Amino acid sequence: MLAADVFFLNSLPIHSLLAPLRAAFSRHAQVILEAPTGAGKSTALPLAMLDWPEISGRILMLEPRRVAARSVAHYIAHCRQQKVGQEVGYRVRGEAKVSANTRLEIVTEGILTRMIQQDPELTGIEMIIFDEIHERHLTTDLGLALALEVQASLRDDLKILAMSATLSGLALGELMPEAVTLHSEGRSFPVEVEYRPAPTQQHWIDHLGRCVLDLVSASSANVDKTASNNAVLVFLPGKGEISRLQQFLRERLAQDAFLICPLYGELSGAEQDSAIAATTDGRRKIVLATNVAESSLTIEGIGFVIDSGYKRQASFNPKTGVTRLGLKRISQASATQRSGRAGRLSAGACVRLWSQEEHGRMLRADEPEISQADLVAMAHDCAYWGAKSFSDLMLLTPPPSVNEALAWQLLQRLGMVDGDNKLTSHGKAAYELGCHPRLAHMLLSAKSLGANYEQTAQLGSLACLLSGIVEARGLPKKGADIMNYLHFACQGQAGQQAQQWQKKLGLTADLSKVATHAHHSDVGLLLALAYPDRIAKARGVEGYQLANGTGVVLAAEDALSQTPWMVVADFQETEGRNAGRIYLASPFQPSLFDSELKDLLEIHEICGWDEGKGRVIAERQYKVGQILVKTETIAKPERKQIVAALLGYIRQQGLQILNWNANLEQFQYRLKLATEFDAGSDWPKVDDVALLASLETWLAPYLENVNNLPQLVKLDCFGFVANCLSWHQKQRLDELLPTSWPLVTGTSAPIVYDESGRALLRVRLQETFGMAQSPMLAQDKLKVTMELLSPAQRPLALTADLASFWQGPYVEVKKEMRGRYPKHLWPDDPVNTLPTKFTKKKTLGLAQP
């Protein structure tokens, strides 16, 4: 090791924890280490472990990001004065530099999960280090869960070290209750933070560009161009924003004085190394990076940070089954990580493009990826491991139940797990291909089709090319037609991956020839196998409807824009837009539904009401998801279909189309009151909502001979509803809430109930003489309101307290009515007067012996 490296590493804060860490691992198999930015946990610690005599096996260190894994491996190998791939190596998706002599292997992007699945005992591996676990990547959470299970069931000698910049909000202690927890100081210099919010969010990139220009202009006079900390790191949400800012700065900064370097995941290793390394030509470096530069990655010479405060966040939308990209504010923890990059070598400065007040309202920490990700691949991992639910794993955070359910449903639809989420032979073969379950299903299905039909012998190799395109990073812009990228998939890393899939499938075709002779019909077939829910049909003026119901659009100038049917391999929903944008697709032939893809069609027989014909019509619909492919008329629908159509028509139009007599509304009001005052009895609900919901119970049995509207309106529907009550209930209802009240005069006065719960008795005043109180119903729980009428049946008074009426209002009524109706009785003592429905003369005549 070089002397300068020895001095630097020995000065890092983590150095003071090496002895306690060794002691902890001598007694425990699990250690949790909290070490802030600059402590040296990602470099100095694993480097030191290589010289610990008690570790004779291999060390695996998991890094959340590909660029960090490569960078850390190169740095540690340099410190050992070796090339990467000897004692220190790395393995990321599509690239590996390891050998039989590798003792420290840095892995990422699900590599650890695959290693555990292939060798659950992790033969030869003595320690697993989980770096930057606070970032809560999905692969990290899953890798930790599997490693803990391996340690608990198969390898009690396996050592696990979980490292995090902060333990705040992490449930590591609950997941690893026996672990020793150690804390390290960070090593960073003071960073001066300035808040410069954009005047308007519409043009924040221009504001950011001006901030960069202001910073380099103001600091140029104070910073030595040859100083080791004059570089500027700018954090942006994604590749698009980086490209826009890069163009903005190139137009305004001299190329001989400034080196502008983008840094994001899709770049090649050489391009990433260029952004990380120090400049050698005297130019001042400006690095435009996504959040890949937040942690575990040392970019040489950074003394200034400008933080946009944004990140591009992918979140799974369970309604559409796709991942939506949105521009989100970062968390306070991320802001601290980002600003800390300016203080790694000396005092630095950070400009934040938001206000200090807004900073206080930002989330304290980022949400774990498991709470917002597509979980199909993770469910496949679970099934291969033998777990039938995510709850079977020791996860830091449980996933949303709806996201997990959708993941298992898709695996079942692809035939990779059975109804109990147990892995099938098809699912096992698919997992061993090492790609997304959708693509694995396409590869295996293509091989099977190619073996059965001579004309489709190249389907398997074509599927390998398509899978390479879908999984490739940094595709050139050649429109949405996926066939435009077939020759691209024959080269470079994509070509290597396609060849690996070919080898696993036992295929030997020349990929270049396969790309040259490919047909849209075959491409459409293969993509439909992987994405049956994304078969799309043109709709309206513009756009398409996917089988899953989602709306998507294609650029008007794209060559596929007039295609009536297609399969969409890649599209994204963007926050603020009504429809997702198509990025990769292929024309599709619906005739495939009559052959290779006939199993995708779902058959629905429906009956409906034809308003014009006034009768039921029926048809058989063939659908893929929510897309109607074709229909067939059913000449003689079955009786159950006719009944279902009639009930559907009634629900659509409402109960008013049926033949009711006036009793229904009163019946409903009475039953509502009975439910209130006689709670002990099981009274049925007969309000409109309940009746519509239960048509199958009370109406459907009487529709056996009904085929049209005239026949329907002849039915005695009130009688059907009344039959919902038993004989005992009918008697009980009449007892509690009668429809009339018998008077002494022989009159049976009707009682009218209303929606408010009132019982109204309309009666001529003379017939109430002798009544001291208003009648009571429902076992004296409901007082009747009386509408007292004149001899001409006109309202005189409305009262629910007859006793009070006699003592007060009646006096005035009597005075007025004696003059208007002199032939009728208006006694001074109505309570002690016999009631009558006749005039005074007739009443007196009837009273004589």
Q: Are residues 99 and 227 in the same domain?
A: no
pLDDT recorded at residue 849: 44
pLDDT recorded at residue 391: 94
Phi, psi (5° rounding) for residue 688?
-55, -45
Query: Which is it for the CA torsion 525, 527, 531, 535, positive or negative?
Result: negative
CB 350, CB 338: distance < 8 Å: yes
Q: Which of 647, 648, 621, 650 is nearest to 634 (CA)?
A: 621
Phi, psi (5° rounding) for residue 559?
-65, -25
With cut-offs at 50, 70 and 90, classify the pLDDT of residue 723: confident
CB 130, CB 1: distance < 8 Å: no
What is the reported pTM? 0.77
Q: Which domain holds residue 344?
A: 191-370
Q: Are residues 7 and 71 in the same domain?
A: yes
In a domain, 673, yes or no: no
Convert the pLDDT of each residue in 521-575 to its tens digit: 999 999 999 999 999 999 877 789 999 988 999 988 999 988 999 999 998 877 6
Q: Are residues 833 and 749 in the same domain?
A: yes
Phi, psi (5° rounding) for residue 426?
-65, -40
Q: Are residues 175 and 219 in the same domain?
A: no
Which residue has tokens 């009690």?
156
Tell me the pLDDT of the chain averaged across its residues: 88
In a domain, 30, yes or no: yes
- Three-state SS at 452: helix
Max Cα–Cα distance, the chain, nearest Å = 139
Helix (H) or strand (E) holding 411: helix 401-413
In a domain, 365, yes or no: yes
CA–CA–CA angle 620, 625, 631 (5° rounding)? 20
The structure tokens listed for 274 are: 């260029």
Q: Are residues 414 and 439 in the same domain?
A: no
Strands 95-97 and 231-235: unpaired
Choose one of 598, 614, 631: the last residue of a domain. 598
If you average pLDDT over residues 719-747, what whole number do you get? 90
Phi, psi (5° rounding) for residue 79?
-65, -30
Q: Are residues 294 and 336 in the same domain?
A: yes
Q: Which of 725, 792, 794, 785 is nearest to 758 (CA)?
A: 785
Asked if residue 770 has pLDDT above 70, the reply is yes
- Three-state SS at 832: helix
Give the total residue count for the chain: 849
Count Cβ atoms within 10 A of the Cβ of residue 348 and give its class: 0-12 exposed, 13-18 middle, 19 or more buried.
buried
pLDDT recorded at residue 7: 47
pLDDT recorded at residue 648: 86
Cross-strand pairs, 235: 289, 307
pLDDT recorded at residue 577: 67
In a domain, 149, yes or no: yes
Instruction: Give percent of the chain with pLDDT exceeding 90.
Output: 50
Task: Say how many C-beta atoms besides its own lie within 10 A of residue 832's C-beta.
Answer: 10
With cut-offs at 50, 70 and 90, classify the pLDDT of residue 359: very high
Q: Are residues 337 and 443 in the same domain?
A: no
Distant-in-sequence, close-in-space partners of 782: CB < 8 Å, separation ≥ 6:
673, 677, 737, 757, 759, 776
CA atoms within 13 A on the CB side of 700: 17
pLDDT recorded at residue 460: 93
Rounded CA-CA distance 723/568 in Å is 56
Helix (H) or strand (E) holding 574: strand 565-574
Convert the pLDDT of each residue in 86-101 to its tens digit: 999 999 887 889 999 9
If you average pLDDT over residues 130-155, what whole number do you get? 92
CB 31, CB 182: distance < 8 Å: yes
In a domain, 354, yes or no: yes
CB 325, CB 574: distance < 8 Å: yes
pLDDT recorded at residue 843: 61
Phi, psi (5° rounding) for residue 262?
-80, 155
Task: Say how many C-beta atoms besides its own lie within 10 A of residue 18's C-beta.
Answer: 15
Q: Are residues 203 and 145 in the same domain?
A: no
pLDDT recorded at residue 276: 84
With cut-offs at 50, 70 and 90, classify the pLDDT of residue 454: low
In a domain, 394, yes or no: yes
Which residue has tokens 């940094």?
474
The structure tokens listed for 313 are: 């966040």
Looking at residue 16, what DSSP letter applies?
G
With cut-offs at 50, 70 and 90, classify the pLDDT of residue 403: very high
Rounded CA-CA distance 805/799 in Å is 7
The structure tokens listed for 449 are: 């089709």
Which residue has tokens 């930002």?
362
Q: Are residues 338 and 200 in the same domain?
A: yes
- 84, 213, 252, 546 from 305: Cα distances, Å: 30, 13, 19, 43
If you average pLDDT over residues 394-407, what whole number do you get? 94
Choose one of 122, 154, 183: the last residue of a domain. 183
Rounded CA-CA distance 408/399 in Å is 13
Note the helical H segments in 170-317: 172-175, 204-220, 239-250, 269-276
Asked if residue 848 has pLDDT above 50, the reply is no
Q: Are residues 147 and 198 in the same domain?
A: no
If you average pLDDT over residues 133-161, what whole number do you get? 93
Convert the pLDDT of each residue in 784-843 to its tens digit: 999 999 888 889 889 988 888 998 898 888 888 887 888 888 888 888 888 888 776 666
In a domain, 661, yes or no: no
The structure tokens listed for 567 are: 């399969």
Q: Are residues 365 and 379 in the same domain?
A: no
Choose one of 330, 350, 370: the last residue of a domain. 370
Q: State the CATH number of the domain containing residue 15.
A: 3.40.50.300
User: Which has more confidence, 447 or 293?
Assistant: 447
Q: Are residues 197 and 319 in the same domain?
A: yes
Asked if residue 199 has pLDDT above 50, the reply is yes
Rounded CA-CA distance 127/161 in Å is 8
User: Which has more confidence, 21 or 327?
Assistant: 21
Left, alpha or beta for 802 (phi > 0: left; psi -120 to 50: alpha)?
alpha
Concatenating the DSSP letter of every residue in 448-507 gives HHHHH-GGGTTHHHHHHHHHHHHH-SS-----SBGGGGTTGGGSHHHHHHHHHHHHHHT-
CA atoms within 13 A on the CB side of 655: 19
Strands 776-777 and 795-799: unpaired
Concatenating the DSSP letter of every residue in 285-344 gives EEEEE-GGGSSS-PPTTEEEEEE--EEEEEEEETTTTEEEEEEEEPPHHHHHHHHHGGGS
Which of 220-229, 327-336, 385-394, 710-719 is predicted most confidently? 385-394
Count Cβ atoms within 10 A of the Cβ of residue 172 and give its class: 0-12 exposed, 13-18 middle, 19 or more buried.
buried
Convert the pLDDT of each residue in 828-844 to its tens digit: 888 888 888 877 666 65
pLDDT recorded at residue 457: 65
Rounded CA-CA distance 791/837 in Å is 8
Instruction: Give percent of the chain with pLDDT exceeding 70.
Output: 94
In a domain, 289, yes or no: yes
If you average pLDDT over residues 673-686, what whole number do you get? 87
- Three-state SS at 633: strand
Asked if residue 280 has pLDDT above 50, the reply is yes
Give the count of domains, the chain. 5
